[in-house]
Amino acid sequence: LNEDSYAKYKEMCEPYGVSIDTYYKAYTFRNDTNNDEGLTSEQKKRKIRDYIYQMDIPTDHKRKLIACWFK
């Protein structure tokens, strides 16, 4: 994690119980997906959201993770 993404985690996810491990998994997947030049921006968003929604975490944590990157 870089400093900005860690600050975002501390502000938007940690207060709601999202673990740093969960955040890091989603963050890593997001970065890998965003580096895939074969996908459009809309396909990237869908792929990241789908990944987060399939994670074995509470629904409110999924919403917080998505809110970090998509408004």
Task: Write out the chain's pLDDT in tens, 71 residues.
Answer: 899 999 999 999 999 999 999 999 999 999 999 999 999 999 999 999 999 999 999 999 999 999 998 87
CA distance 33 to 36: 5
**Residue 19: how many CA atoms within 13 Å on its side-chain side?**
7
End-to-end CA, the chain: 21
Predicted confidence at residue 64, as pLDDT, reads 96
pLDDT at 71: 73
The tens digit of pLDDT for each residue in 26-44 reads: 999 999 999 999 999 999 9
Question: What is the model's pTM?
Answer: 0.90
